[in-house]
Every structure is written in C-alpha cells, then in structure tokens.
Amino acid sequence: MTVTVRAAAKINLRLAVGPPREDGFHPLLTIYQAISLYDDVTVSEADTWSVSVEPMGDLDCSGAPLDESNIALRAGRVLGAHHGVERAAAIHIAKGIPVAGGLAGGSADAAASLVALDRLWDLNTSDEDLLRLAADLGSDVPFALVGGTARGTGRGELVVPIEDPGTWWWVVVPNALGMSTPEVYREYDRLYPDLLSHHHLRVHDMAGVLRSRDFRHLGRNLENDLQPAALSLRPDLEQTDMDLFEARAYRLLSGSGPTYLGLVETQERAHEVREQLLDKGYTGIRVATGPVAGAHVVKYV
C-alpha cells in the first residue's frame, strides 16, 4: 500500500520579527499564505527508514538531505513514537518547491509525511496532536498542515486561519544559491542590536486588505522584516528586486530568502512578467496562485 500527500509552499505576506527570546527563537507575527508550488510525498511500508527525492521539472534538488536529517523522515519517526508504533517506511519526495529558498519546502514535506503515514498506518491522529507534533518539528510545519491564509504567532507555529476570498497571482523567482535561515536571523540581530521590545510586532489590517481582493492594496501592504538582513548578506538579490520593479510587480522577499516574489493582477500578467525575466537570463521562474489547501491526500493505493 502507498499513500501520496501533496503539500504547498508558503509565503509570508507580512513578517514581523522581534528580539530573541530566552530560548534563542525570535517572536514572530506573520501572515502566511499557501501558494500553488507543491511537493508530493509518497510513503510505503518498508523494513527500514529511507528517503529519496526527485525534481519536478528543472528544479535543482541537490541540496535536499537523503539521510536521517531529512525532516520528512524525522516526522515519520516522531509520529511513530507518539503512538508507540515501531514501524518504518520508504519516503519518496517529488519536489516542486525550491530547496533552501525561503518557501518552507522542508516543512511542507514534514507535514505531508505526517498525514501520509497517519493514513498508511491507520493511526487516526487527532488534528490537535498532529499540530503539536508539527510544531515540535519546525516553526512552519503547522501552517503546512493548515494551508490557506493564516496568522502565525509565537515562533510562527501558533496558527489561526483567516478569511481570504481573493485569488492572488505570484511570479516566483528562485535563486540557485540558497540561504541559511539561522544566518539571516543572526544578521538581523547584528543590524538591529538595540531592538529591546517587540511592540512593533503588529500587522496592518491584513484581514481587511485580503477581503478587498485588490492586488494593489495587498501589494502596498507586503512587508518582510528579514529582507534588509537577507539583502545585507546577498546584495546581488537587489538586482532581482529592481527587475521585478521594472516589470511593474509588487516585490517581496520570501521568508529568509533568497526567493523573490512578484505580485501582479492576473494570471496572464504573471506569465508576461515571467517571460520578461526569462529574457533577462533568469531560470526556474514559476507562476503560482494562492491561497491553496494545506497537506492533503491525493493518491491512496
């Protein structure tokens, strides 16, 4: 028997970052959105744990770990331990989300692995327990389960869905050289050493912005506190920002980078911008829409 679960990439429409807590994590207030870039995770019974990864299209998956450090495999072990189940599985990831791109592809894989193995082993884990296990695995994993558009607090793991009736079109511009999230946070701390309170951890009325269904209104409210730190480490990304500006897209760095996002009005316009950037030598550019569903079963054989 095999089970395949699809999980989506995430972006942060707004990412507000506070000073480090005692545990080393930064408090966050973010508005997540799941977009239509996907990883498909297929699990099957096996005597020992294994993980394999293959790209969808021309995606470079060379940075994806194939050992015990892979978060999808760790998710399987965590789920088994939660239920006292001593079983193993072969995990195969068909990857459409760029690796180390600030789009939470690893978190999507972990969420998909939890859902797939829960179905494979007929464990009937409660939603509450799945979310708790997800939070233990990583800050973005709970949102990968929930999908849609949601407000995240804590270190991002406390997720509450919010209404989002819009259909938003994104031009997703990856970068061949990935970025380390911890390094970006360290640079953020270096740039803002006097950040003593997190009173600024607030977002605009994003619920109202989203209800407007006006891409210009949303575009003017996109913001990422980590963007200055990422650009400090990677000033070459400023050219991508400029190229999206010249293409008349609203620009946003995705999470800790290096993927850039361009918000435009329609699918047709998104493909026009994609072609403009391809003509400038960019590669691997995707067009995506959001919001889309969280981790869900797509095949059960």
Residues assigned a catalytic role: 10, 140
Question: How many residues make up the chain in this entry?
Answer: 301
Bridge partners (DSSP) of residue 33 are 11, 149
Picking from 167, 286, 277, the residue whose alpha carbon sits closest to that of residue 218 is 167
Residue written as token pair 């620009």: 251
84 dihedral zone (left: phi>0; alpha: psi -120 to 50; beta): left
Would you say 178 and 101 are in contact if contact means Cβ atoms under 8 Å apart? yes
Bridge partners (DSSP) of residue 256 are none
* Residue 57 CB coordination number (10 Å): 8
Would you say 76 and 41 are in contact if contact means Cβ atoms under 8 Å apart? no
Residue written as token pair 């990883």: 39
Question: Which helix or strand (DSSP H or E) is residue 80 part of?
Answer: helix 71-83
